[in-house]
Amino acid sequence: MSSPNSSIESVLVENRVFPPSDAVVKAARISGMAGYEALCAEADKDFEGFWARLARENLQWTKPFTRTLDESNAPFFQWFADGELNASANCLDRHIGTPTENKTAIIFEADDGAVTRITYKELLARVSQFANALKAHGVEKGDRVLIYMPMTIEGVIAMQACARIGATHSVVFGGFSAKAVHERVIDAGAVAIVTANYQMRGGKELPLKAIIDEALATGGCDTLRNVFVYERTPTACNMVEGRDKTFAQALAGQSTDCPPVAVGAEHPLFILYTSGSTGKPKGVQHSTGGYLLWAKLTMDWTFDLRPDDIFWCTADIGWITGHTYVTYGPLAAGATQIIFEGIPTFPNAGRFWQMIERHKCSIFYTAPTAIRSLIKAAEGDAAVHPARSDLSSLRILGSVGEPINPEAWMWYYKHVGGERCPIVDTFWQTETGGHVITPLPGATPLVPGSCTLPLPGITAAIVDETGNDVANGAGGILVIKRPWPSMIRTIWNDPERFKKSYFPEELKGYYLAGDGAVRSADRGYFRITGRIDDVLNVSGHRMGTMEIESALVSKTDLVAEAAVVGRPDDLTGEAICAFVVLKRSRPTGEEAKQIANELRNWVAKEIGPIAKPKDIRFGDNLPKTRSGKIMRRLLRSIAKGEAITQDTSTLENPAILDQLSQTN
């Protein structure tokens, strides 16, 4: 853990405050700070009673729980453990027989603009039919199913169908490589894969099934029996006899009725791999009951959801945001949501704004990187400026995935929200399952760049390296002191790593988020200052520096050693910078450019294009202490283009710094 103070140098004093209007406060579910404080007080007074009440009110249990929180095997906390429920029934069946059954669940807009709508009743039928297809192919409760799908209704159906039969899904983002898929099939012990022949992005047809074939051809996937292929486009793909079935083949003759399988509240709903500070991604395991409670509740709290809202979360189902705020939260809450297959810049960078107008979107939730790139596009071309679209349907805006800089916040507030819509800057992580620190639209006065205050029941705090609270205004380590229902349960196959990563002894058993943070002196508002471990956040995508280093050094014919650090980037938040020592002499000029490109493509193949280093620098060596430790803080300064002011007296080879400062 590096000192959180290093990232706090960038603290800016933000004086602008945007309180919600009286009308917004009056109409809100959690109305004003009094409403927020009342819930916090309830949680304070009777922590378990608070959560038990919410779990009873928000979820349908086939067997009621009698025990709320079991801390006897901390940090493997259990919530509502003797209760039983089904996640898919809580998203779909619960609406049948209510006016919601004929409501549109999903408005799907394809890459080419074609729009498909599906009601809750129709979605239930299609989920049930696919669940029956899975069962017919031997997929059972407790089995793992890997999902590698484009943003489509079928992606949601695949996830919900797994939940319906008690299978644990593991979605892999469609931009990850065959190698990443291979590792995840093996780690999860997946029995089936659900994929598509191709995906459509920006007018291009990109292969998905071919990547699955490549992954499975690597061998070692002994548990894998079936591959289900959704035919997204008419183009044929390779099909392996006996193993692969198209959706049409798998669904033929299957009933649209499939009773949901009740599972214990702690049953793993899904595993989602994310980057940590070692080379190997972590399979974050989430529960059924606690996770779903939070997905539903934060729809109501953070987004103040109303029956007539049109909700749009732009995240891909391959990330946690797409799990909680596409597949589970909106459906559990009975919302109508937009799902978009394509990319924000196709056919032009006004696509998001045009879609908001077209579908009368009222709650729009996206990432700062998307906002920053659309600002740039709008500033360069008035035709794609949000002012060209009618955005009057919007009532709430959201931001997620990385810190939003105040300039981008102000632009979003003014040009997208018309200075009328509160922005909820939601801080959370794959591990937290849902929002943990966020403004409430009808309560919290907003400060640009701040995620403001923890949700009721979330005991977020900032502590020093021994777990003691620090004063407001001083930076420190972000922790959550008590468990909460949607927290990570363990790392799949690696409980020891779970304990070590998230509950280090020196922090008194608190959950360690891995971010630095500071609370404002006046309001006690939280501002996230960035990761304090070796995790990078590039365009809101999380990546481990060690993961990229391992990928680089696995090019054994060329690379001797590599060190990867992040540096600030105006557009992507952070950019990846790699320092590489080759097994041959240090290249310069054109040759250096060519090898750098070769290495970028290698990393794309090993991990995925999102992990490609922006900068690659070559050296005869890396800056190391006499004991051989790479001095990363020096590399961070070099990557930023800063003069080296740190103490370099322990450095074995100071001359190397000049060499590494040269860009290709």
Point out the annotated binding site for Mg(2+).
Answer: 553, 559
CA distance 480 to 458: 7
Tokens of 477: 């380590």
Nearer to ligand PRX, 77 or 427 (CB): 427
CA distance 394 to 303: 12
DSSP string of 440-472? -TTTPPB-TT--BSBPTT--EEEE-TTSPBPPT
DSSP string of 502-554? H--GGGTT-EEEEEEEEE-TTT--EEEEEESSSEEEETTEEEEHHHHHHHHHT
CB of 627 vs ligand PRX, minimal distance in Å: 30
Phi, psi of 403 (to 5 degrees): -65, 140
For position 402 contacting ligand PRX by CB under 6 A, the verdict is yes
For position 362 contacting ligand PRX by CB under 6 A, the verdict is no
Tokens of 131: 């669940």
Nearer to ligand PRX, 188 or 400 (CB): 400
Selected range binding ligand PRX among 88-96, 104-112, 396-404, 624-632, rule: CB under 6 A: 396-404
CB of 266 vs ligand PRX, minimal distance in Å: 21
- Three-state secondary structure call for residue 171: strand
Within residues 474-513, the interface with ligand PRX by CB under 6 A covers 513
Alpha helices in 239-350 (DSSP H): 247-251, 289-301, 320-322, 329-332
Nearer to ligand PRX, 427 or 579 (CB): 427
**Binding site: what residues are annotated?**
201-204, 321, 401-403, 425-430, 515, 531, 539, 542, 553, 559
| DSSP assigned state of 327 | I
DSSP-derived pairing of the beta strands 84-85 and 310-313: unpaired
Nearer to ligand PRX, 133 or 564 (CB): 564
Within residues 201-240, the interface with ligand PRX by CB under 6 A covers none
* Closest to 296 in 3D by CA, of 485, 126, 157, 428: 485
- 296 with 58: CB under 8 angstroms? yes
Instruction: Could you list the beta-strand ranges (E) of 520-638.
Output: 526-531, 535-538, 541-544, 559-569, 573-582, 615-618
- Three-state secondary structure call for residue 248: helix
Each residue 255-274 as x (binds ligand PRX by CB under 6 A) or -, in order, gives -------------------x
Size of the residue set binding ligand PRX (CB under 6 A): 21
Tokens of 300: 């109501």
For position 428 contacting ligand PRX by CB under 6 A, the verdict is yes
Each residue 99-128 as x (binds ligand PRX by CB under 6 A) or -, in order, gives ------------------------------
HSE toward the beta carbon, residue 186, CA cutoff 13 A: 15
Beta carbons within 10 angstroms of residue 99's beta carbon:
9
Q: Which amino acid is at 533?
A: D
CB of 426 vs ligand PRX, minimal distance in Å: 5
Nearer to ligand PRX, 268 or 566 (CB): 566
CB of 118 vs ligand PRX, minimal distance in Å: 26
| One residue of 245, 351, 395, 542 binding ligand PRX per CB under 6 A | 542
Nearer to ligand PRX, 100 or 429 (CB): 429
Selected range binding ligand PRX among 96-104, 140-148, 338-346, 425-433, rule: CB under 6 A: 425-433
Nearer to ligand PRX, 513 or 592 (CB): 513
CB of 322 vs ligand PRX, minimal distance in Å: 9
Exposure letters 533-552 (e unless 16+ CB within 10 A, then b): bbbbbbbbbbbbbbbbbbbb
Nearer to ligand PRX, 51 or 319 (CB): 319
Position closest to ligand PRX via CB: 430
Non-local CB neighbours of 385 within 8 Å, separated by 6+ positions: 350, 353, 378, 415
Within residues 283-322, the interface with ligand PRX by CB under 6 A covers 320-321
| One residue of 213, 244, 425, 549 binding ligand PRX per CB under 6 A | 425
Each residue 432-461 as x (binds ligand PRX by CB under 6 A) or -, in order, gives -------------------x----------
For position 168 contacting ligand PRX by CB under 6 A, the verdict is no
Nearer to ligand PRX, 144 or 541 (CB): 541
For position 359 contacting ligand PRX by CB under 6 A, the verdict is no
Binding residues for ligand PRX (CB under 6 A): 274, 320-321, 400-403, 425-430, 451, 513-515, 528, 531, 537, 542
